[in-house]
Structure 1
Amino acid sequence: MTETMVHLGFWELLIGSIVTTYMLIAGGWVLAKAGRSPLWILLLLFPYVNVLAVWAFAFIRWPFVDRSPDPRQTAPVDEH
C-alpha cells in the first residue's frame, strides 16, 4: 500500500494564504453590501458546507434588493 503525502513548500503556502485571505475579505464585503453579516463568509472554509452556504446565499431574501421602495424618493421627471 502506498501512501500519498503532499508536501507544500513555502511559496505554495504563501500563495494559498494570500488567495484565501483575499477570498474572505472580498466575500465579506459582498455579504455586507447585500445586507448580511460578513461573518457568514467563514462558512466557505469548511468543505461541503461552502457549497451549501453559496447555494443558500443565492436563494435567500436579500434585504437591500427585496425591500419596497421608499415613497419619499420619487423618480426624476423628464421634462422633454
Structure 2
Amino acid sequence: MHSMGLWAWLLVIVVCLAMLYPYVRIIRRTGHSGWWFITMFVPILNVIMLWVFAFVKWPTVDRPVR
C-alpha cells in the first residue's frame, strides 16, 4: 500500500477551496458569520450543520412582505 502522492494532495486542496466559497456564501445568507465554514472540516458536524443551515430561517429570503 502506498501513500497519496503530491498530485492527489493538491487535488484535495483544490476541491476544498472550490467548496469553500459557496459554503461561506450560503452561511452568510442565513445571517450567520462566514467563519462557520470551519464546520466543513469536522466529520459528522459538517453534515449536521448542513441540515441546520438548510432549515434555519434565512433573513434575506424569509423576511415578511410589506
Normalising by structure 1, what TM-score?
0.71
How many residues are aligned here? 66
Mark the runs of 5 or more structure 1 residues left unpaired by the alignment.
72-80
Higher helix share: 2
1:4-43 paired onto structure 2 within 5 Å = 7-43=3-39
The CA deviation string for residues 26-55 of structure 1, in whole angstroms up to 9 with x for no partner, is 211222234332111110100000110001
Distance 1:28 1:13 in 2: 23
Which 5+ residue runs of structure 2 have no aligned equivalent?
none
Q: Which has the higher contact order (CA 8 A, sep 6+)?
A: 2
Fraction of identical pairs, as percent: 33
- Matched with 1:74 is none
- The offset of 1:6, in angstroms, is 5.8
Q: Give the TM-score of the pair, scaled to structure 2.
A: 0.83
Q: CA deviation at 1:56?
A: 0.6
